[in-house]
């Protein structure tokens, strides 16, 4: 395959992977929405630092095993978890607009 065809094929493969990443993020977001309902029913806080620590440590190890930079992987996960907390906080705020919650998004 010549270089131009290789470039085009690589870009198509990247586009497909990026689409899959978005689909997975959308799936995670749907599950976080369900989880927010369960947490609210159980009176649990949005932020669970020990779970985040456990997840971060596991994610770093998995990233390294795949040849990825652990610090970059951790930043990526932190961004995803931050969005997840914001979504949960918005859910709680919609259900209880006059309350403030101890489990904040930050």
Ligand X SMILES: C=C(O[C@@H]1C=C(C(=O)O)C=C[C@H]1O)C(=O)O
- The tokens for 35 are 């989880």
87 interacts with ligand X by CB under 6 A: no
78 interacts with ligand X by CB under 6 A: no
81 interacts with ligand X by CB under 6 A: yes
Binding map of ligand X across residues 1-30, x = CB under 6 A, - = no contact: ------------------------------
Name the DSSP letter for residue 103. S
User: Are 79 and 37 contacting, i.e. CB atoms less than 8 angstroms apart?
Assistant: no
Nearer to ligand X, 31 or 64 (CB): 31
Q: Which residues bind ligand X (CB under 6 A)?
A: 32, 35, 47-48, 51-52, 55, 81, 84-85
């Amino acid at each position: 395959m010549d270089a131009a065809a290789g470039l085009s094929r690589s870009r198509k493969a990247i586009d497909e992977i990026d689409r899959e990443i978005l689909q997975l993020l959308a799936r995670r977001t749907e599950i976080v929405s369900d989880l927010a309902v369960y947490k609210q029913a159980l009176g649990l806080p949005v932020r669970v630092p020990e779970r985040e620590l456990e997840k971060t440590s596991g994610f770093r190890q998995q990233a390294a095993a795949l040849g990825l930079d652990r610090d970059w992987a951790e930043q990526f996960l932190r961004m995803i978890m931050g969005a997840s907390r914001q979504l949960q906080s918005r859910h709680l705020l919609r259900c209880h607009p006059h309350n403030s919650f101890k489990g904040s998004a930050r």
